[in-house]
Amino acid sequence: MARLLFGDMVERLGPVHANAGIERRWSCVPLDWYGRPHGWRERSALFVENGVALASQAIAACLSRAGIGLDGVDALVAVSSTGVCTPSLDALLIQHLRLRPDVVRLPIFGLGCAGGALGLARAAALAQALSGRNVLLVVVELCGLTFRPQDRSPGNVVATALFGDGAAAALLSTKADGPAITHWGEHTWPDSLDVMGWRVEEDGLGVLFSRDIPPLIARHFRPALDGWLGRHGLGRADVAGYLCHPGGAKVVTALEEALELPSGTLAHERAILRGFGNMSAATVMFVMERGLSQSSLTGPTVAAALGPGFTAGFVLLEP
């Protein structure tokens, strides 16, 4: 399949895939789908069909774990950047799941890989405003549907090695048990719009993915984090741990360098990347689930992700 799609470029792909640190990924379409041309109409229909199905599975698992029925959902925050639909994903899910007609809706598009952390931040703010009510956050990204084999740009070549499909959900309430989200925030670097994002092409979304992302993180992530922590009267010495979005193997290494952590510290990040690939916004939620299920919080923990803008999103979890 790789030779069919990329022809004489296939030799260039070998080292890229070998260095990605990914062993397995999921796709909502079979491999032979990628060998045929596809336009906006088909890609959008597949996004709606598979996005609603996958998001519904994540929601069912989340609510079952929380012991809450569908009628207990008071607000729905739906995050995605890999497909476009109107009515938006939240409205489609309300119809599909038969949620209450008075559910508060918040669709979020365009945050890319930062959407998991910033989606949690928006959901936390909504839960705070709707005190005592249940706010459901669902993140679904079908990255594979954006693949365009005729795009031979370096960014797209790297994207073929990194991205996969996935969804995650979380329930937030001021009355809920479990880790508390106490602070959230973000930092958008000036003059950085060309670092990451989409180009709208005739046949779909074209990836914009700078090779400078790891060095940017290594140089600039720590000052942004320090500034955000400082605004809440905290420093990195107060942070017990980190749960970060693993954009790629080089990104994880850059995060460890930026945070002055020993190599290999971000083990949850590497494990999720290895087992699922980069699922854009959903990935940090997979990291959080793994981290929280394998060990309890010992103190303030920062969840973080980076995405188009170029923006870092921060969420502080406390026991």
Which of 16, 25, 21, 19 has the alpha carbon at shortest distance from 286? 25
| Residue 85 annotated in active site | no
- The residues near 162 (Cβ < 8 Å, ≥ 6 apart) are 20, 22, 247, 248, 277, 278
Query: What residues form DSSP beta bridges with 220?
Result: none
- The residues near 89 (Cβ < 8 Å, ≥ 6 apart) are 51, 52, 55, 78, 80, 107, 140
Give, as one character, the DSSP assignment of residue 210. Answer: -
Strands (E), the chain: 75-80, 104-109, 135-142, 165-172, 180-188, 196-201, 204-209, 241-244, 301-307, 311-318
**3 state SS of 42:** helix
CA distances from 106 to 110, 166, 257 (A): 13, 20, 36
Query: What residues form DSSP beta bridges with 116?
Result: none
Of these residues, 62, 85, 113, 143, which one is catalytic? 113
Which ranges constitute the DSSP H helices of 35-81?
40-66
Distance from C-alpha of 270 to C-alpha of 279, rounded to nearest angstrom = 13
Catalytic residues: 113
